[in-house]
A and B are shown apart, each in its own frame.
Chain A
Amino acid sequence: MSKLPNAQTLAKSINYAFPSASWMDVKPVFNPGSFCYPAKEETMAGLGMPHPHTWNPAEEDWNLPENWEEIMYNTLVDKLEKFRSFKVFMDICVRCGACADKCHFFLGTGDPKNMPVLRAELIRSVYRRDFTTAGKLLGKLAGARKLDKNVIKEWFYYFYQCTECRRCSLYCPYGIDTAEITMVARAMLHEVGLGTHWIMDPVSNCNRTGNHLGIQPHAFKEIVEFLCEDIETVTGIKINPPFNEKGHEILFITPSGDVFADPGIYTFMGYLMLFHELGLDYTLSTYASEGGNFGSFVSANMMKKLNAKMYAEAERLGVKWILGGECGHMWRVITQYMETMNGPTPSNMSVPKSPITGTVFHNAAATKMVHITEFTADLIKHNKITLDPSRNDHRIVTFHDSCNPARGMGLLDEPRYVLKAACNNFVEMPENTIREQTFCCGGGSGLNTEEIMELRMRGALPRGNALRYVQERHGVNTMACICAIDRATLPPLADYWAPGVTVTGTHELVANALVMKGEIKRTMDLRQDDLPDAEE
């Protein structure tokens, strides 16, 4: 009996010894559930990505191209020359550790390399060896190391455990943005043919068919028509949304997830109902039907390639401006990249002006694209729509700020303004988990794939914890968001960490409260669940 280790020793046995484990010597273990599936060779080849090949992260040999060292070095030089952000961030970190406990993946996994500072050091150490004198001369003493195949594996492991949420960047005294570093690292990995399935497949689909699942135009239309049937069931109103039609004032673009996936479809139905009620002069497009941009998780060029369709379609259809749906990284791309990459806007476009209220959106003078919550907040302010918030009275609602609109755009109060008009019970989550300090859903930047559910649940813990808190304290049963990826990733998060909380889009709640001309008495919400006081 005494020969057996007791539980305490067993537990201690996996304890890393402090002095022996310099982070450079610890290698990641590729356990199932902790890494994304690799992209298919034909997908990569079809997109013209360099060195497409078949490989498996769990195997020893990743079949890197012969001259991978040269490719990596040249790419690093290229990125340093093109991005001041990257170059400065390689040099000025003082390792003060302010970022360490700001990362949801660190908080949830406890893995030291998930501290943003160390995530960046993974690449910084290689930079030091190749580009600084001290690194060349002193090597490890100066925190430098050679790029070898194990380092590449480490990069793949940890740069796909970063959701580019920029929370660390907010707290960094020099504004070092791990998202920038992750983008470079991923771009480098793609140069030697390493990509993930859940990013490259949607990229390929968006490129060809215009949506992330590769649904062809006629089927896309058919699905939207289903949703219109559902709207009719709930409201008694028949909507026929225009597709690919020229001569309308506004082009509406939203992530295609809202058309295909639960619970995004209810948000999409919300948009259609709102537009119908307003009599808005708009059109949908099957060609530019994807607002989300998985290309932004690959490289700047891929981001540009996918994003270019928006202005191209706006030009072809001759619209004046674009209205954008609820989405996270889509809005980061639109805010910080679109006009620079694919501008100037086509000549038929003009500074967005709400045809209903006459408000001119000067803040979108260059991109000519307005966020739906800005648009709706403005409508509500001017009393242009009638809302009956009591229809949402059985819901106690909280709001999850998506990382990208929060820290890459500053869209914080518009959705709150809309929600407070659409619901009577609104509760905020704790202060250091919302607004610019918001925690990620754990699935941003192309990590919302099911094979890493386990990892996602770890990363989701900080958000789940905050949600659980308001659930217990205030009885919150609904979490609203403004992001299609959130609508995909928050339901499992809530299911695991705070069972009983429903995830909705903001415009789903708006549409539930929206009083429409000629509607039947609402007895159910958009999900066709009975409203509590329906019997009365």
Chain B
Amino acid sequence: MLFSLLAVIVLGGIAWLVAPNMPGFFGIILPYAAVLVFLAGFVWRIMNWAKSPVPFRIPTTGGQQRSLDFIKPARLDSPFTKAGTIGRMILEVLLFRSLFRNTKAELKDGPRMVYWSSKWLWIFALIFHYSFLIIFIRHFRLFLGVDVLPFCLEAIDKVDSMLQVGIPRFYMSDALILAGLLFLLCRRLFDYKIRYISLPGDYFPLFLLLGIAGSGVLMRYFMKGDIATVKTFIVNLVSFGPISASGLPPIFFLHLLFISTLLIYFPFSKLMHMGGVFLSPTRNLPNNSRAVHHENPWNPPKKFHTYAAYEDDFRDLMDEAGLPLEITPEEAAARAGAAKE
């Protein structure tokens, strides 16, 4: 835990102290490299997973199968069709269906509160992921470099700043992402079980994301730099015509370095769950293997104890018990005799 925190602090120090003096590297080369590493790494990881076949159809069925007409199947939790499977994946990816299941655990009366029930995990995980998405989309304002935003971006912006407080206007997602991250962090620190299983690789992304969100918030609300310059720089960076980054505020370099680090770190870490969830065979396959053939590319040849061998073993006993035989004991004896000659 401390190691991960330290790593993020060191990164921050570099950004604050070193980066403004090396604007070319930290402002231009590193971000480009990071995006490249992210894209290549992401694709490589997915390809690497996809290279291994799915030999068996092993969905975890979360509900009634499709069988008799008068029994209602669970179309999404135990999908028989492709559409149902897509539905299940949508629920899983967009609404975290499996985490939501945990709501069943109820509180019993008693003076003490359950500290982190799994429902909280579901809510805060949703909050974090969606805030992240919205913030990411909001940043297109900076990437596009146009004054009038496309309708959907404008709408997201409007909703996000619905509270209409502060100058510049306060975005709810900024607060929510921090809340989400802090919850996930506290859970790791204070839930004995989670703390016991946590690795440095679990804390590092949390600290890093806190760093990104924190520096972003600082930049927007507290250390309002020259937004126009920053925007010009980014627009040019995104359109592959980078201009000099010198003179930009250190907090911007901090934000940028954290993001670059995240992009580089992403493909080699547990953050790849973003891509992996789509490849999870317990979720992305329909529960129809009784009705439809599933091919195993490495299916080995059949090798088993055949009936003939079985009958050879027990022929006399079976005969005595009156069980039907393929070859009677007499025939077998005759054949054995013939084989000898």
Contacts and interface: CB of A to CB of B under 8 A. Distances in A.
Complex A–B touching at CB under 8 A: yes
Q: Is the interface of A mostly helix, strand, loop or mixed?
A: helix
For the complex, would chain B's binding face be called helix, strand, loop or mixed by DSSP majority? Answer: loop
Contact of A169 (B51, B60, B202, B270): B60
Nearest to A371: B67
A120 to B, nearest CB: 10
A249 interface: no
A192 interface: no
A367 B324 contact: no
Interface stretch (A1-9, A29-37, A79-87, A473-481): A79-87
A399 to B, nearest CB: 14
Interface string B283-321: 100011111111110111011111100110110011011
Contacts of B74: 410
A216 B198 contact: no
B60 A92 contact: no
Contacts of B302: 304, 308, 342
Interface in A191-228: 207-210, 216-218, 221-222
A411 interface: yes
A500 interface: no
B115 interface: no
A414 B68 contact: yes
Interface string B1-22: 0010000000000000000000
Given A341-B299, A413-B64, A94 B202 contact: yes
A170 B118 CA distance: 14
B296 A340 contact: yes
Residue among A134, A339, A413 with most chain B CB within 10 A: A413
Given A218-B320, A410-B74, A115 B293 contact: no
Nearest to A364: B290
A516 interface: no
B166 to A, nearest CB: 33
A40 interface: no
A403 to B, nearest CB: 11
Interface stretch (B101-109, B208-216, B231-239): B101-109
Contacts of B305: 207-208, 305, 309
Given A95-B197, A173-B96, A180-B58, A340 B65 contact: no
B195 to A, nearest CB: 9
A177 interface: yes
Interface string B38-55: 000000010011111111
Contacts of B200: 141-143
Interface stretch (A50-58, A238-246, A386-394, A442-450): A238-246
A82 B53 contact: yes
A374 B104 CA distance: 29
Contacts of B156: none
Given A80-B52, A174-B273, A431-B104, A132 B268 contact: yes
A170 to B, nearest CB: 6
Contacts of A384: none
B280 interface: yes
Contact of B304 (A83, A92, A309): A309
Contacts of A221: 321-323
Interface string A397-427: 0000000001111111110010000000000
A174 B276 contact: yes
Interface stretch (A355-363, A491-499, A502-510): A355-363
Interface residues of B, number: 95
Contact of A97 (B194, B199, B268): B194
B203 to A, nearest CB: 10
A91 B272 contact: yes
B300 A98 contact: no
A82 B276 contact: no
A217 B321 contact: yes
A436 B63 contact: yes
B172 interface: no
Interface string A152-174: 00000000000000100111111
A340 B196 contact: no
A287 B276 contact: no
A366 B52 contact: no
A141 B201 CA distance: 8
B220 interface: no
Contacts of A84: 49-50, 52-54, 279, 281
B298 A377 contact: no
A348 interface: no
A174 B271 CA distance: 12
A306 B191 CA distance: 45
Interface residues of A, number: 107
B105 A171 contact: no
Contact of B291 (A89, A91, A173, A366): A366
A97 B282 contact: no
A177 B56 contact: no
A486 interface: no
A300 interface: yes
Contact of A366 (B50, B196, B292, B298): B292
Given A91-B272, A141-B3, A407-B61, A344 B293 contact: yes
Contacts of B54: 83-85
A487 B204 CA distance: 48
Given A305-B304, A366-B290, A414-B71, A94 B273 contact: yes
Contacts of A209: 310, 314
A336 interface: yes
Given A87-B49, A171-B102, A177-B58, A92 B276 contact: yes
A381 B80 CA distance: 23
A171 B92 CA distance: 11
A73 interface: no
Contacts of B288: 363
A417 B324 CA distance: 38
Given A312-B307, A340-B295, A366-B291, A414 B67 contact: yes
A170 B289 contact: no
Contacts of A96: 99, 121, 125, 194
A132 B227 CA distance: 41
A123 B228 CA distance: 52
Contacts of B291: 362-367
Query: Of residues A170, A210, A316, which shows the largest number of chain B Cβ atoms within 10 Å of its Cβ?
Result: A170
Top 10 closest A-B pairs, CB basis? Answer: A410-B65, A92-B276, A218-B321, A410-B61, A175-B282, A143-B199, A175-B283, A308-B304, A410-B78, A84-B52
9 contacts: A95-B198, A143-B201, A174-B276, A175-B98, A305-B305, A359-B68, A362-B291, A409-B61, A436-B77
Given A244-B323, A336-B289, 11 more contacts: A83-B52, A91-B49, A95-B198, A97-B187, A98-B98, A100-B194, A141-B200, A209-B314, A218-B314, A312-B307, A410-B64
